[in-house]
Amino acid sequence: MKIPKEIISEFEIKVKGVVDGFYSGKQRSKTFGSSPEFAGHRPYYEGDDIRRVDWKAFARRGRLFLKQFSNESEIPLIVLFDDTKSMGLFNKDERAQVVAGMVMFASNRLNYRFSLVKFSGEIIPPGKGVNHLLRCYYEAKGKGKGSFREAVYNIVSHFRKRSLLVLISDLEFDWDELQGGLGILLKFHDLVVFHILSGEEWNFQLEGKVLVDAESGKRVQISPNSATFYRGVIRKWAEGIRNFVLQRNGRYSLIFSDTPIESEAKKVIETLEVI
């Protein structure tokens, strides 16, 4: 697949250039070989050798991680990408694409295989290397049809091995559907959630306006003088998702689509625990 030159340039600036700044000065093997150099962390699972726990990482993060070395088997990574219509609002889709690029770029630096699964059903099988990375970045877009329930079904059907699963979405789904799906993903995979919202949603100021649901087309009249109420609803909803994920040993980070990318990139890298 031939990737357009403008996409390659965009990737170099928005993803590689930003993430490289966090890696500068760090001596880390980029490939797995015979050298026993430190190559990162992976989550601790029941039955792992407790002697290999990184207690300093535990003190910082409050979660157990094992030290991973360059001669050990790689960690499979899956990016579950929301390409439904609601992501097209407030440039959330553009920020989600950059976040996906950062995740896959970090994975590729450690020579891990990664795959892309879109809510609309498209699956790019596991691979590695620059060409695979650019293809996945290029395909991490679109405004397709799909649901969270269908996306979870695709993951369960196609990926049986426990993996690092990175969900990138605005999570604007029915709460029961969302809770059930997250519960399944947390049970079978090590889940990282990047919750993409815009500042306009978080600091709601659309009172008195008529909004159209991007998925259903339904028109909703927002009452005057209701901004404070809606801001409270949005914050409570996001906090509920965060607590649900963290209480089940997942990881969660709220990413804004209209904040300078450098500050959001720091959240992405720190949440992934790959630097």
* Domain range summary for the chain, segments of one domain joined by +: 74-272
Q: Which of 166, 183, 190 is nearest to 43 (CA)?
A: 190
Note the pLDDT of residue 168: 98
> Which tokens hold the place of 33?
């070989």
CA 34 to chain centre: 31
Which pTM was predicted?
A: 0.80
Q: Got the DSSP string for the chain? A: -PPPHHHHHHHIIIIIHHHHHHHTT----SS-SS---EEEEEE--TTS-GGGB-HHHHHHHSS-EEEEETTSPPPPEEEEE--BGGGGGGGHHHHHHHHHHHHHHHHHHTT--EEEEETTS-EEEEE-SHHHHHHHHHHS---B---HHHHHHHHHHH--S--EEEEEE---S-HHHHHHHHHHHHHHSEEEEEEEE-HHHHT---TT-EEE-TTT--EEEPPTT-HHHHHHHHHHHHHHHHHHHHTTT-EEEEEETTS-HHHHHHHHHHHHT--
Q: Burial, 209: exposed, middle or buried (Cβ in 10 Å; 0-12, 13-18, 19+)?
A: exposed
Note the pLDDT of residue 34: 37
Residue percentage of the chain with pLDDT more than 90? 51
Could you report the per-residue pLDDT of 38-90, keeping only the tens digit for each?
A: 656 767 766 666 777 888 888 887 888 877 665 455 678 999 999 998 999 89
Q: Return the higher-pLDDT residue of 11 and 220.
A: 11
Note the pLDDT of residue 57: 82
- When pLDDT is cut at 50, 70 and 90, the band that residue 262 belongs to is confident
Of 170-179, 237-246, 263-272, the range with the lowest mean pLDDT is 263-272
Could you report the per-residue pLDDT of 164-202, keeping only the tens digit for each?
A: 999 999 999 999 999 999 999 999 999 999 999 999 889
Residue 257 has pLDDT above 70, yes or no: yes
Cα(82)–Cα(93) distance, integer angstroms: 8
Q: Which residue has the tokens 């405004």?
A: 143
Instruction: Answer whether 196's CB lies under 8 Å from 92's CB.
Output: yes
11, 14, 131, 134, 186 from 2: Cα distances, Å: 15, 20, 9, 10, 36
Beta bridge partners of 127: 114
Residue 220 has pLDDT above 80, yes or no: no
Question: 74-272, what's its fold?
Answer: Rossmann fold (3.40.50)
